[in-house]
Amino acid sequence: MTTKQRFRNNKYRLEIRERDHGPAHVHLTGGGFDVIIDLVSLATDGEWPRGLREEVLAWVSAHRKELMEEWQKWHP
């Protein structure tokens, strides 16, 4: 697992899991939450921590290229 970014004083972290299933995605975890974010469509699955959705999706959108490169490194 590779932590790519932390949110809300490190309570939540955005992760790429090395041995994960496709399609390309990241996980937002912490505080009992696990949200899956598709790197192509930005579609999500899971319950979001209150008030964090816009911030996280904006960050993922701005860093999508590097996140996709990291995903492809671990999932050739």
pLDDT tens by residue, 29-61: 999 999 999 999 999 999 999 999 999 999 999
The rounded distance, in Å, linking the Cα atoms of 9 and 40 is: 27
Backbone angles phi, psi at 46, to 5 degrees: 120, 165
The rounded distance, in Å, linking the Cα atoms of 48 and 72 is: 26
CA dihedral of residues 45, 32, 64, 68 (deg, nearest 10): -80
Predicted structure pTM score: 0.93
pLDDT tens by residue, 4-13: 999 999 999 9
Residue 70 has pLDDT above 80, yes or no: yes
